[in-house]
Chains A and B, each alone.
Chain A
């Protein structure tokens, strides 16, 4: 069985995926995780999870193209560029 290992670098930090382990059961998975990801005191803590327990979500439906739900629905880059150009032009004009 495959287990995924997440490690916490320092107290309070988010757990990050560190790698995976193959083990026959939870007991072995914990021992191997400790060995592979904790032997040198490099982790504050570990999460060890059976891969089959992880629910993966990849498909996101947006049939009506509701870009106002999304951060990229309001493209600021272009507007910011134009505003800067106008401001530069005003400064030029007043000198």
Chain B
């Protein structure tokens, strides 16, 4: 579950997700509140607070050690079959449409996601 839309929160979720998927684990990520901004095709998340200015430099350093930027992580997640979900209520509140989001993002509500999470062996909350 991801509820914040900054670069670090998004990257943390996607890196853990892509690792888990690489280990043969089924992954489902629910994006709600500001986390939903990360599901927009145009998402270019920044580091939080005063670190915002250093986002570009940070991404360059990550690229050097083989890590993709956020859009690259999403592409990898799509290839690995990570399931991405958008909170339907947040979509309404922030006026985000299905077509604004990455390909394959599924829309559901809290009960729909809980139905998946309640059967999980492990759940994680990222900010």
User: Are A and B physically bound partners?
Assistant: no
Binding site for A on B (CB under 8 A): none
Binding site for B on A (CB under 8 A): none
